[in-house]
């Protein structure tokens, strides 16, 4: 079984309110762990975060944003050099091309400013709904959906909140369960829970506060 797939197919959505109440108490102020100082840096950091830890992305962007201080600089970046600079984040060839092209499009199509709509953001290469949701919520305060990364996919599946494996369908399932004002916090909370407790390889069910409500619990 794929480690990111739901452990078992069981509808546990009736317990969502109880699950969410417990999670909110456990993670009262869920904050993103990516470092950025503006919407453009947030967009680039989020693109780099695909299949990479936030800790490693922060190490890379700490140097990257010192060298490339604005969108113009990254739009003019040498791809061979950029590949080496972001190598440790994985998928560096695709990411470097996407970052450079996205920077160019921001200059040519959006007057040098990161757009603030889902439709416009998802026109950029390497930017799907997950990345767009993060940029909209954290950069512009617009909560239009739920960012579904590998942690959200895994944890929501194990908790029986969705039986889907496609991120778009998982997002729709979760949006039906939670109030819109909670969408951003729900995503960040599931991410934190996935990192700290519901690990992909060794889930710590014995200490998980959700074990009695989780159909996948090993306790």
Q: Which of 54, 95, 149, 158 is catalytic?
A: 149
Decide: pTM greater than 0.75: yes
* Homologous superfamily assigned to 39-140: Hypothetical protein; domain 2 (1.10.340.30)
For residue 9, the model assigns a pLDDT of 53
pLDDT bracket for residue 2 (50, 70, 90): very low
- The answer on pLDDT for 6 being more than 80 is no
pLDDT tens digit sequence for 119-150: 999 999 999 999 999 999 999 999 999 999 99
State the Cα–Cα distance between residues 94 and 206, nearest whole angstrom. 40
For 13-36, what is the mean pLDDT?
95
State the Cα–Cα distance between residues 5 and 81, nearest whole angstrom. 37
The CA distances from residue 76 to 69, 110, 114, 196, in Å, are 12, 17, 17, 39
For residue 4, the model assigns a pLDDT of 47
What percentage of the chain carries pLDDT values higher than 90?
93
For 167-194, what is the mean pLDDT?
97
State the Cα–Cα distance between residues 21 and 46, nearest whole angstrom. 28
Is 169 an annotated catalytic residue?
A: no
Q: Which of 54, 95, 100, 130 is catalytic?
A: 130
Nearest to 131 by CA among 34, 64, 58: 34
- The answer on pLDDT for 67 being more than 60 is yes
Domain boundaries, the chain: 13-30+145-213, 39-140
pLDDT tens digit sequence for 181-196: 999 999 999 999 999 9
Question: Is residue 57 a contact partner of residue 89, using CB atoms and an 8 Å limit?
Answer: yes
Q: Classify 105 as helix, strand or coil.
A: helix
- The answer on pLDDT for 57 being more than 60 is yes
Nearest to 174 by CA among 164, 90, 201: 164
For 35-41, what is the mean pLDDT?
97
- The answer on pLDDT for 202 being more than 50 is yes
52 among annotated binding-site residues: no
Tell me the CATH number of domain 13-30+145-213, given options 3.40.640.10, 2.60.40.10, 1.10.1670.10, 3.20.20.70.
Answer: 1.10.1670.10
- The answer on pLDDT for 197 being more than 60 is yes
Instruction: Please provide the average confidence, as pLDDT, over all residues in the chain.
Output: 94
Is 199 an annotated catalytic residue?
A: no
pLDDT bracket for residue 10 (50, 70, 90): confident
Q: Classify 4 as helix, strand or coil.
A: coil
For residue 193, the model assigns a pLDDT of 97
205 among annotated binding-site residues: yes
């Amino acid at each position: 079984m794929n480690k990111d797939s739901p452990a078992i197919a069981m509808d546990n959505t009736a317990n969502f309110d109880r699950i969410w109440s417990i999670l909110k108490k456990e993670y009262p102020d869920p904050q993103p762990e990516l470092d950025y100082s503006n919407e453009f840096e947030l967009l680039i950091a989020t693109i780099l975060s695909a299949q990479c830890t936030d800790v490693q992305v922060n190490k890379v962007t700490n140097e990257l944003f010192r060298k490339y201080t604005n969108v113009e600089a990254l739009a003019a970046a040498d791809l061979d050099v950029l590949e080496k600079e972001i190598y440790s984040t994985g998928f560096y060839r695709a990411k470097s091309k996407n970052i450079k092209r996205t920077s160019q499009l921001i200059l040519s199509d959006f007057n040098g400013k990161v757009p603030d709509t889902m439709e416009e953001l998802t026109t950029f290469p390497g930017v799907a709904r997950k990345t767009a949701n993060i940029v909209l919520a954290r950069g512009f305060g617009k909560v239009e959906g739920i960012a579904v990364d590998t942690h959200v996919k895994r944890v929501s599946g194990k908790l029986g909140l969705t039986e889907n494996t496609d991120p778009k369908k998982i997002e729709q399932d979760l949006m039906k369960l939670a109030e819109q004002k909670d969408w951003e916090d729900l995503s960040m909370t599931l991410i934190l829970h996935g990192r700290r407790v519901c690990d992909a390889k060794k889930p710590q069910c014995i200490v998980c506060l959700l074990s009695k409500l989780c159909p996948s619990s090993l306790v």
